[in-house]
Amino acid sequence: MKPIQVSAAIIRKGDFILVAQRNHHDDLGLKWEFPGGKIEANETDEECMVRELHEEFGIQSKVTGFLGESTHNYGSKIVCLKAFFVEHVSGEFQKRVHQNIKWVHVNELKDMDWAPADIKLVDLLLEYLQSSN
């Protein structure tokens, strides 16, 4: 089974990270995730990230770095999630496809009900933040 390639955004505002709650009608409904989406054919990971954030939130953004990746086998599919640090360039955040979006303090990230593929990214992010202080 070939993994589905997905990009995820780590958007930071001080000690807060933007997280999105999956729509209750979707697979993994109401689970929290880092925003992002599937990488399309002939699209780089970074291009996917910018496109998905514009489609899902109506914002302009720029990828500034790579955090890491997480691969999770859901049984019916395998997801390879690549997380990028992303800078919000312009535009107001609009909730277009998610149940909810919010800024969460880094100390509260571990307490959220994450989609399984995102859990490793939470750990990687917290390790990164701890090592950069």
User: What pLDDT is recorded for position 133?
Assistant: 67
User: Would you say 40 is a known binding-site residue?
Assistant: no
pLDDT of residue 30: 84
Report d(CA 30, CA 44) in Å as an integer.
Answer: 28
Q: Where are the domains of the chain?
A: 4-131
Q: What is the pLDDT of residue 22?
A: 85
Query: What is the pTM for the complete model shown?
Result: 0.90
* pLDDT tens track, the chain, 133 positions: 889 999 999 999 999 999 999 887 777 668 899 999 999 989 999 999 999 999 999 999 999 999 999 998 988 889 999 999 999 999 999 888 888 899 999 999 999 999 999 999 999 999 999 998 6
88 vs 86: CA distance, rounded Å: 7
Tens digits of residue pLDDT in 6-18? 999 999 999 999 9
Q: Are 68 and 34 in contact (CB under 8 A)?
A: no
Please state, in angstroms and rounded to a whole number, the distance separating the CA atoms of residues 76 and 117: 14
Determine if residue 127 is labeled as part of a ligand binding site: no
Q: Are 114 and 122 spatial neighbours (Cβ–Cβ below 8 Å)?
A: yes
- The pLDDT, as a whole number, for residue 29 is 66
Long-range contacts of 50-58 (CB under 8 A, 24+ apart): 52/7, 52/9, 53/9, 53/86, 54/91, 55/96, 55/97, 56/20, 56/96, 56/97, 56/98, 57/91, 57/93, 57/94, 57/95, 57/96, 57/101, 58/91, 58/92, 58/93, 58/94, 58/96
Tokens standing for residue 45: 């990971």
Q: Is 36 among the annotated ligand-binding positions?
A: yes
Architecture category of domain 4-131 in CATH: Alpha-Beta Complex (3.90)
Whether 35 has a binding-site annotation, put simply, is yes
22 is in an annotated binding site: yes
